[in-house]
Amino acid sequence: MTSSSAPNDREKVVSKLPAWLKQNLKLRAVQHGLEMQVAVEQGLKEWCSLASAPAAVDTSGAESFSTFLPPGDWEAFEEVAADRKVSRIQGLAQAVQLWLDSHPAPDVVRPEITRRIIVCNQKGGVGKTAITAGLGEALAEAPDKLHAVRVAKALTKALRASDTQPSDEPVTDDPLDIERLPGLGLRVLLVDFDPQCHLTNQLGAEPLPMTGDSLTNHMAGDPKGDLRDLIVEIGDEDFGGRLHLLPACNDAFLLDVRLSAVRAREAALERALAPLEADYDVILVDCPPSLGLSMDAAAYYGRRRDNESPGQSGALIVVQAEDSSADAYELLTTQIDDLRGDLKIDIEYLGIVVNLYDSRRGFIATSSLQGWVDIKDPRVVGLIGDLKEQKEAVRMKRPLLAYAPKSQQAIGMRALAREIA
């Protein structure tokens, strides 16, 4: 059955496909950067060109399926199906399966050098931990599933959508704002570098005991074992064993004191984490609200290495749309710039994330947001609203993207991940 009302000189075709086959087609088409109608067109042509029909496909429970094809393609397919004595539903299913078999899922693109992202701001309470966790989750999400991602380029557009859509309602498919995209599927290590252990607690892990081993011990040159033994997996099916956490320990309150006696102390974090890098594509460090030696070590770890492409590693600065964040931002960037000059290293800014934003707070919020946008270098790469899902996820000690995968905050985290990917 066809209708010539479709645009671009294509005809609408209505048939049936099993739900599982339709879902596989949708995912694979996105993975290859194609529209579904193009994938179906290619599959039908390939099927018609075969010398005989391939193996039968189980079409039980087939549901209505429509697409748009060039004029005449469906009629040509129907003639071949009649010659082969197969139904149109079976022939279409075979054609789709044939296209899937000839277009396997692409491999996840992995960086040649492990990316090192330090999430930082001298000011506490801006949500560095939430951004670290959400970004890591978005980077690790399953590449064989489709996830809602905000793709609007204008921050004000994204803001209007987050303000006007109730956060407890499911995401609607607005083609201007939302796309369903495969997860990035990267292997991610989250490092809780804050002695307050917020990241560890938020993700449901236990802080390391003061009497045992810790990242602090390894940085201070006094390890008590293999750092790998301290790592825990953040278990959720969408992360597929790709998301891990190095928990914090309260002994990090003494880190600056212990580092003061360490040779080449700026490289202490790198020496500790270097043995882990081969296991991960991205290492995210949730930094403490400090301008001390520990922050120097984190900034040094995030420097651009030899043969590393620009924009891969560096500092991601989390702020709020209020005045005290601006003061803290100046202190942090001064410290990083001083470190750049003193050690002659390249520490890149990966961007600014404006977190916990709510335009209903009035002129201070909106004008502060504009102030961040006006900086330009580094530019704003993320805008995350102040909504209830993040707080609920923390209370439940679950990853945000597992607890509320369709929330506006989750969509914003995925957009952030792709913005800096």
The helix (run of H) or strand (run of E) holding residue 117 is strand 115-120
Entry pTM? 0.88
Name, in order, each residue with C-beta under 8 angstroms of 308's C-beta and a sequence gap of 6 or more. Answer: 113
Confidence of residue 173 (pLDDT cuts 50, 70, 90): very low
Per-residue pLDDT at 360: 83
Give DSSP secondary structure letters for 237-268. TTTTT-EEEE--BGGGGGHHHHHTTSTTGGGH
Structure-token pair, residue 187: 């292997």
Contacts of 226 (CB under 8 A, 6+ apart): none
Burial class (CB in 10 A: 0-12, 13-18, 19+), 310: exposed
What residues does each domain of the chain span?
A: 2-102, 115-420
Task: Give residue 125's pLDDT.
Answer: 84
What's the mean pLDDT in 289-311? 94
Whether the per-residue pLDDT at 6 is higher than 90: the answer is no
pLDDT category of residue 167 using cuts at 50, 70 and 90: very low
Residue 1 clears pLDDT 50, i.e. is over it: no
Confidence band for 124, pLDDT divided at 50, 70 and 90:
confident
pLDDT value of residue 98: 97
Comparing 134-143, 204-213, 301-310, 367-376, which segment has the lowest mean pLDDT? 367-376
Q: Which two tokens stand for residue 262?
A: 């360490």
Angle 96-99-104 (CA atoms, 0-180°, nearest 5)?
125
Alpha carbon distance 57, 374 (integer Å): 56
Q: pLDDT category, 237, cuts 50, 70, 90?
A: confident
Characterize 269-305 residue by residue with b for buried, 16 or more Cβ atoms within 10 angstroms of its Cβ, and e for exposed. Answer: bbbbbeebeeebbbbbbbbbbbeebbbbbbbbbbbbe
What is 115-420's CATH number?
A: 3.40.50.300
pLDDT value of residue 398: 95
